[in-house]
Structure 1
Amino acid sequence: MPVAFTVQQPAADKLAATLDLPARRMSRLPVSVTLKGDSVIFFAAKASCRYACVRAASGQELRGTWAQPGLRVPLVLRRVVVQPSGTAAAVVAATTYHIEAVKLTSPAGNVELAGTLSIPDGPGPFPAAVLLSDMGPQDRDARQGTCRLFADIASNLARQGIAVLRLDDRGVGQSGGDNRLATTADLVRDAQAALSFLRVRPSIDPARTGFIGHGEGGNVALLAAAQPLPPSFVVGLAAAGVSGLELLAAQAEPATAADTARAGAARRQALADVAAKAKELRASGSNSAQIDTYVAQQTLKLRSAERKQAEATLKFRRAMFEIVRQTANREQAQAIVTNMLRQRYPAQEAALTRSRVEDLTTPWARYYLTFDPQAALAKVQCPVLLLNGTDDAEVNAATNLTALEKGLKANKRVMVRRLPGVQHWFQTPAAELLPNADGSVDPVVSAAMLDAVRDWVLQQSLQ
């Protein structure tokens, strides 16, 4: 498997390095570099690998040991001097960066928002981006389990000369306010406040400052771009192109672990029944063609039943959301929705039903169900990059990217990309990751997404 470390020296006492593993489609992973006498130790946390080595007398080779979970092998790397390619990515050399804890006030309710600003080392001024989170309460790192989408984006961009501001959502971490009470319109004002905060800093170039939004954050970025004092650019990661009601209706019904287990057990039992019947047919003298026909027919019946169930769920969710959208009185809406959920899911725990009803009737939810992303797209004139994973189960790439492209057709500076095998949280497909000793894999943010965002933002900085 090819291994490549790219090492640069941005200052006399600093080394910056990245790791490329082309066979795993992992590139420019951040690497720490430690010097101990004649030894050099590279450590890439995202790939869970370590390379301890010494430099050969010629200075043209590194000789040492590569270690990762379940593997420890000797490795020799030869020095190659990379010539600048002239691309946007090569214009800004990899560098080190520092972080600052920041606070700003949003005019929407005078809410104080806290976050982290990652700034490249050097004089600047630097291009910059504000990260805008997806729906629901998110911290500044956009944590999902052990994966930290926003922290990785910030680190990757800051190492390439792009400053990044990421904030705790309202009511999360060190930020004030209440996420459940904030509507999408409030979030637009939060985003504008963050952009203004960056543009007055001496180390930031106000003419090269934009938004990178994930999910709803991508729509917030596009809404802000349609208003006066727009951002210099917008990157939408899985932004919605259809209405809020349609987007939410198309998502899967929330299910407990017990519900998922029961559904899985029922499907496995149905398949086992088909296999058992096929065995009986074989024992009774049926030929292979007859057995294959039977199995194919039963498989089609199972798929048809699953499709009908999905269609019924979609119809139910649309009806439920329409009740919330059209019923002005919140208590009345809650009563109707509670009754709908009890009738459809009679075995559901009362506490879970109450929690769902509360979530469905928050000010944010009631506003989002009336949200139409198409309304403002014609006014967006800044450069826009739209990325979506083909395995995104929450924001369908084909449906939403097509709708966004249609709404932005008057803007000649729009780029659209679909990332194969990538899901909603832009994680690298498990099949492309280095496995742990037990065969499991740790989630890693997609290098393809990071590269696409970085290169595109740097290209905008050159124009």
Structure 2
Amino acid sequence: MTQWGKIVGFRFTSQQALGLATGWKKPCYADKPVRESAMTLGKGKFKVEGTLCLPNDIGERAEVSRFPCVVFLAGSGPCDRDSTIGENKPFRDLALGLASQNIASIRFDKVTHTHRKTFRDRKDITLTDEYVEHAMDAVLQAQKHPNILPHGVFVLGHSLGAVVAPMITAMNNLTAGCIIMAGPAEPIYRCFVRQLRYIMSLDGPEALYLNKQIDAAQAQAELADSDKLTLSTPAKKLPFGIGPSYWLDYRNFKPIETCASLKKPVLIMQGNRDYQVTIQDDYLQWKAALSEKQNVQLRLYERLNHLFISGSVPSTPIEYTIPGNVDEQVINDLTKWVAGNSPVTLERR
């Protein structure tokens, strides 16, 4: 879904809405109490709300217990702070799982979630507007918090958030590193065309009307990529009906090149069952560009989908309507990597 609520994939009525499912449940690995508190990010009329999740293990003097922290950047669309997709809340899973391992986190509602109508009506919206102010504020607030290591703040981007995360990491000298989860190597409108073709290949009922949609999406993608794109290009001719300012600004975000220039640790994580960001079209480009760099680690998960939830059959859109949790191995790998790249895993003076 785009930041204005337009469809980027297919939506299905959730099992919970039909009374057939129990909805999200706390993952089994989140077995320790945590401390969550509300926070506000940004300034002026475009403030958003977020959640700071801290480990509960702070000892007798909270002001001298400091933890590494991960700032989460959600994917495309008007995502809430939990990155809720169907019956799943992957960012809540990650926050609770990391807190159980003495790692703090910040997650927040995207501005396009909190101020959806205002941003939908704007003609000059950019990718920078969608992410940068609130992401930078989250990093700065984390670095100033008495229970967070100021040199131990990492930026994690999922999907479209992974396009932005490297730039946020580079913009703040004190950030400790960057985590890429299901990072697109191509613009998201190219991912969308591939996504439509994949769904069509499943021979489900959607395939009956996808041909025209694929042709239209392909034409829009080609225009967005071309030198014919200008500020006067009509939004209706561009991907998802989003105006030219957005796609012109998008060109300034070069996640693979930015990661290649970083001297900080970088972790790249990818699910093999992901049909939105794929091994062949995306992950292999990251791997080819970065695998020889000493500060980069790559993790490929055979059974995981775009939300890093495990399964045994090819992923489809309807899978997101089934409650699940981020796989525990992802939590373990993140914990080990963050702890290994933090100045101090847990500081107590």
Alignment equivalent of 1:135, drawn from 76, 101, 104:
76
Pair 460,47 (structure 1): closer, same or farther in 2 beyond 3 Å: closer
Q: What displacement does 1:451 show?
A: 2.0
Residue identity in the other structure for 1:428: S
1:453 correspondence with 2:344: no
Alignment equivalent of 1:328, drawn from 227, 230, 255:
230
Cα distance between partner residues in 1 of 2:207 and 2:117: 40
Q: Count residues in correspondence.
A: 301
Cα distance between partner residues in 2 of 1:383 and 1:448: 20
- Is the partner of 2:223 in helix, strand or coil? helix
TM-score (norm 1): 0.56
Which whole-Å deviations, capped at 9, do the CAs of 1:390-422 have from their partners, x for residues lacking one?
A: 111111123322222344367411110111121
**Which deviates more from structure 2 when the two are superposed, residues 196-205 or residues 243-252?**
243-252
Structure 1 contact 100–118 (Cα < 8 Å) conserved: yes
Structure 2 contact 163–254 (Cα < 8 Å) conserved: no
Structure number with the bigger relative contact order (C-alpha 8 A, sep ≥ 6) is 2
Matches within 5 A, 1:283-322: 317-322=217-222
Pair 128,357 (structure 1): closer, same or farther in 2 beyond 3 Å: closer
Alignment equivalent of 1:99, drawn from 16, 21, 36:
36
Which whole-Å deviations, capped at 9, do the CAs of 1:105-142 have from their partners, x for residues lacking one?
A: 25xx8731211111112131111111110011100011
1:443 correspondence with 2:324: yes
Cα distance between partner residues in 1 of 2:119 and 2:198: 23
Which whole-Å deviations, capped at 9, do the CAs of 1:281-328 have from their partners, x for residues lacking one?
A: xxxxxxxxxxxxxxxxxxxxxxxxxxxx98x98675333222245342
Structure 2 contact 155–178 (Cα < 8 Å) conserved: yes
Alignment equivalent of 2:108, drawn from 167, 187, 199:
167
Pair 173,242 (structure 1): closer, same or farther in 2 beyond 3 Å: closer
Alignment equivalent of 1:213, drawn from 143, 146, 157:
157
Cα distance between partner residues in 2 of 1:202 and 1:238: 32
Q: What displacement does 1:235 show?
A: 1.2
Aligned to 2:128: 185
Residue identity in the other structure for 1:142: S
- Is the partner of 1:252 in helix, strand or coil? helix
Which whole-Å deviations, capped at 9, do the CAs of 1:198-221 have from their partners, x for residues lacking one?
A: 101111111111112111112211
Structure 1 contact 104–113 (Cα < 8 Å) conserved: yes
Which whole-Å deviations, capped at 9, do the CAs of 1:136-172 have from their partners, x for residues lacking one?
A: 1100011112211111111111111111110000032
Residue identity in the other structure for 1:460: N
Unaligned runs of 5+ in 2: 1-23, 314-320
Cα distance between partner residues in 1 of 2:274 and 2:263: 27
- Is the partner of 1:403 in helix, strand or coil? helix
**Rg larger in structure:** 1
Cα distance between partner residues in 1 of 2:266 and 2:259: 11
Residue identity in the other structure for 2:49: A
Q: What displacement does 1:333 show?
A: 5.2
Q: Which has the higher strand share?
A: 1
- Is the partner of 1:147 in helix, strand or coil? coil
Structure 1 contact 245–370 (Cα < 8 Å) conserved: no
Pair 254,401 (structure 1): closer, same or farther in 2 beyond 3 Å: closer
Cα distance between partner residues in 1 of 2:213 and 2:118: 34
Unaligned runs of 5+ in 1: 1-43, 49-93, 267-308, 338-355, 432-439
Which whole-Å deviations, capped at 9, do the CAs of 1:195-248 have from their partners, x for residues lacking one?
A: 001101111111111112111112211122233525202111101223455334
Residue identity in the other structure for 1:161: N
Residue identity in the other structure for 1:200: K
Aligned to 2:279: 397
Cα RMSD for the two superposed structures = 3.8
TM-score (norm 2): 0.73
Pair 244,357 (structure 1): closer, same or farther in 2 beyond 3 Å: closer
- Is the partner of 1:249 in helix, strand or coil? helix
Alignment equivalent of 1:144, drawn from 76, 85, 88:
85
Aligned to 1:202: 146
